[in-house]
Amino acid sequence: MLDINLIRTNPDLVRENIKKKFQDEKLVLVDEVIDLDQKNREAIQRADYLRSQRNKISKQIGLLMGQGKRDEAEAAKQQVKDMQDELAAIEQKEDEYAEEIRRRMLVIPQIIDDSVPIGRDDSENVENERFGEPVVPAWDIPHHTEILERLNGLDLESSRRTTGSGFYYLKGDIARLHSAILSYARDFMIDRGFTYYVPPFMIRSDVVTGVMSFAEMENMMYKIEGEDLYLIGTSEHSMIGKFIDQMLGEDELPQTLTSYSPCFRKEVGAHGIEEHGLYRVHQFEKQEMVVVCKPEDSMMWYERLWRNTVDFFRTLDIPVRTLECCSGDLADLKVKSCDVEAWSPRQQKYFEVGSCSNLGDAQARRLKIRVKGADGKKYLPHTLNNTVVAPPRMLIAFVENNLNADGSVRIPEALRMYMGGKSEIR
């Protein structure tokens, strides 16, 4: 959510940013906010005047009564009552104006960074850099579900009976591999100086609207019926939410956190044929990284966060690339974002396994997270998040890139201590 002072002082910048995101239908919101803000400020001024006059006249009533001027005192009382009635009506109007302004401000997109490429949708995202040599082996690579079923590690039929599509059973060495990857990711991030968390897996609605847009909320979140609780779609939601309404000391920054959680997502919308199996599911587990920092440090942390994911995947012998998200593909709260994509030898293309985002002060403003500087001045911190790893989707890249000609799957050195010393799965 933007600072309303920006709309007051530089509405053209806000309009230009909306155009860069190809959301021209939102241009009218800028004028509506300006109009509502003007009316709200006029109401506030009128309310302040009425309060001062009411207090002034109220003091005179006692004097008039003491002087025996009963009629004048009664007239003054009526004036106070009339002012009180008008004031109550204005205060209600102020609340209405404030709510209407907030409702519009919540859907006006964050100002994107100058470095973001301009494009209409994800087809215009820009490749930044590749890490590792993408290899296509001489042998055929089956679909990942076939690989995992041959290794007696996946049972989709049972999950269809118990829960429906978009769910799965992992078992045996594949289930162990899934847990090993998460354990390794946890230790990888701890070794890089991040504090490990296991957060709540449900959050209240005020946290949901603080960390994401309404469109994301509608398409992602599962609500607990009869309660003000939602299942988290990623632990970022809980981890940023933990700072709601908090005043942090500048010496407490940066907050560098890494968190494990299950994640629950509706995944609304139709998806391609390559997304069946474990690619897009309603339940998965993830290791996340979150940073709360000074505004001037956020781009430095952005670079460090995505590099952490690249380094993690390279230790598992998986080639990856980074893909810069264009303006039209950025969620409204994001200032800048890139995807980390892993190489699929079977499809001979890259696919998304993680996303790194700088959200500027958007989440801090919505959640009222503030920092008290050394000089005593208060400001909003910047928040960032990035996926370390999110199996089971990551298992697709893992088994394809580590598949041997005989159908076994090699275990890279970094994972073997978490797999009881195993060097392969057969």
pLDDT in tens, 306-343: 999 999 999 999 999 999 999 999 999 999 999 999 99
- Give the pLDDT of residue 385: 97
Mean of per-residue pLDDT scores for the chain? 93
Confidence of residue 131 (pLDDT cuts 50, 70, 90): very high
List the Cα angle 313/318/322 in 5-degree steps.
65
- Is the confidence at residue 61, as pLDDT, over 90? no
pTM: 0.90
CA distance 320 to 397: 10
Q: Which residues pair with 229 in a beta bridge?
A: none
Q: Which domains does the chain have, with CATH numbers?
A: 4-105 (1.10.287.40), 122-425 (3.30.930.10)
Confidence of residue 191 (pLDDT cuts 50, 70, 90): very high
- Give the pLDDT of residue 417: 97
- Give the phi and the psi of residue 8 in degrees, each rounded to 5: -65, -45
Strands 336-344 and 320-324: antiparallel
Closest by Cα among 27, 43, 10, 211 to 104: 27
Least confident segment among 31-40, 56-65, 337-346: 56-65
- Is the confidence at residue 189, as pLDDT, over 60? yes
- Give the pLDDT of residue 150: 95
- Is the confidence at residue 83, as pLDDT, over 50? yes
Confidence of residue 72 (pLDDT cuts 50, 70, 90): confident
